[in-house]
Amino acid sequence: MQHRTPDKAQHYIDLLESARCKASWSEVPEIVRKLSKHAPQRKCLQLTAQAEYQAATYTAVAHPRTSDTASKLSQLIPALLSSAQDSSTPQEDAFQAHVCLGWIHWILKEPSLALKRLSPHISDHYGRLETDEATVSSWTKICAMKGTYITGVLQDNVGSTGEALKLYKSILPRVADTILTSSSAPEYRNWAERLLVHCCVLSNKIASLPGGKEHGVQSSGITLAPFRIWASFWESTSQYRSSTQANQSARIDSAAQRQIWRLYYDTLSAILQRGQAYPMASHANPYVAEISSGDAHSSKNSRLQQNIELRRVESIYEGLLLSDIPFPKASETNMEIEHWIDQVMVNWRVVFGPAWRGSDLGSGGKETVTRNVLAEN
């Protein structure tokens, strides 16, 4: 009998973990009720899950937002904060509670309070959890992505774009594997996509500032890193984008997704057109750039990969562009399509020029590239 209670408690903790990751919020109240019976000492966990349920309900598209429901969210804060600050609360439970508090303040349009709850805890606290705990739960990893995303948005909103990007890039290497291997859980896809989209936008924004792309090879590698993770995430979640249910619940619309591919293509085009050294992607971690050495073999491999990456991104962006926007008639104009055509042509002139050899472009060389460009345009 002495071992039954811990087993039951762990059973309901696992059920709660699964329900949160799957965004099965309607199941949470009953699981919490049972957990309160079998694990009363995990008070902070119970309060956080209940608060998450109410916050998720409040933010649901079909749910009408009223001052009364907002007030109910506000009323959750004191008890949750007290529990999170209790020294007897497990570290992971406290971390999840702080992220939940930041989320609630963000929902209620209280940015300064949201930052107060999040910024001291996100990167450093999550790093300590990874060091101190044998295993960090899936929901804690989701909370890390959620809290990081919200903090970055708030920092960017007050002009601290560089700090936001620094925060994103401190967390992305640690959650990259989670982003790419846990795509079946709706909450993973939701917060991973938000985080990656905003990181890519900020990365491009910083690089587009005067002198932003003129800091050599490492700058290019850092700029490309979030786009490469985005591309891997896109591929790993392709089956979910095609489902009606996924499309209805998508938090990032198709126009925003297309924008990321456009920025990715623009970034690759800038590296090519400015003659910057191309940072090859590491197979072990797309967040790490492998810089080719000056020998002929490395340079050839670098240019082969550069051309492959450029053509792949060009193809994906072209497909999204032409599926979302009807190609303009002779009497019409579309700036996005015209910009894409201009980029394709400038890129073609670079690789067809004297700085590139046919062997740099793989099978078919410059002739194949020319045929592809003419077919696209």
Residues 69-90 pLDDT 10s: 788 899 999 999 999 999 999 9
Taking Cα atoms as reference points, which of 188, 336, 334, 203 lies closest to residue 259?
Answer: 336
Task: Tell me what the mean pLDDT of segment 266-280 comes to.
Answer: 88
pLDDT of residue 244: 42
40-44, 271-275, 335-339 — which one is most confidently predicted on average?
40-44
Tokens representing 332 are 């019409």
Between 319 and 279, the higher pLDDT residue: 319
Q: What is the mean pLDDT of the chain?
A: 82
291 strand-pairing partners = 279
Contacts of 338 (CB under 8 A, 6+ apart): none
Between 325 and 365, the higher pLDDT residue: 325
pLDDT of residue 263: 94
Contacts of 297 (CB under 8 A, 6+ apart): none
117-131, 147-161, 251-265 — which one is most confidently predicted on average?
147-161
The type of residue at 64 is: P
SS3 string, 252-283, reads: CCHHHHHHHHHHHHHHHHHHHHCCCCCEEECC
Asked if 339 and 283 count as a contact pair (C-beta separation under 8 A), the reply is no
Residue 112 has pLDDT above 70, yes or no: yes
Cβ–Cβ contacts within 10 Å for residue 183, how many? 20
The type of residue at 83 is: S
Which range has the worst mean pLDDT, 109-118, 168-177, 305-314?
Answer: 168-177
Between 293 and 108, the higher pLDDT residue: 108
Q: What percent of the chain has pLDDT over 90?
A: 42
Cα(190)–Cα(184) distance, rounded to whole angstroms? 11
Task: Tell me what the mean pLDDT of segment 123-147 comes to.
Answer: 81
Place of tokens 């699964």: 18
Task: Tell me what the mean pLDDT of segment 132-138 comes to.
Answer: 75
Between 42 and 360, the higher pLDDT residue: 42
pLDDT of residue 150: 96
Which range has the worst mean pLDDT, 1-15, 33-47, 105-119?
Answer: 1-15
Residue-level length of the chain: 377
Contacts of 93 (CB under 8 A, 6+ apart): 42, 44, 45, 48, 84
pLDDT band at residue 268 under the 50/70/90 scheme? very high
Cα(39)–Cα(5) distance, rounded to whole angstroms? 8
Residue 297 has pLDDT above 60, yes or no: no
Q: Helices in the chain by DSSP H: which ranges?
A: 4-21, 28-38, 43-59, 67-75, 77-84, 91-107, 111-118, 122-132, 138-157, 161-181, 186-207, 217-236, 238-241, 244-249, 254-273, 296-324, 335-351, 365-376
How far CA 148 is from CA of 82, 143, 163, 193, 308, in Å, comes to 22, 8, 12, 12, 32
Task: Tell me what the mean pLDDT of segment 250-264 comes to.
Answer: 84
pTM: 0.85
Cα(102)–Cα(149) distance, rounded to whole angstroms? 11
pLDDT of residue 284: 53
pLDDT band at residue 133 under the 50/70/90 scheme? low
Between 287 and 132, the higher pLDDT residue: 132
Residues 336-377 pLDDT 10s: 989 999 999 999 899 888 888 877 776 656 666 655 555 555
Cα(291)–Cα(302) distance, rounded to whole angstroms? 8
Cα(158)–Cα(96) distance, rounded to whole angstroms? 25
How far CA 309 is from CA of 167, 312, 316, 350, in Å, comes to 27, 5, 11, 16
Tokens representing 45 are 């966990």
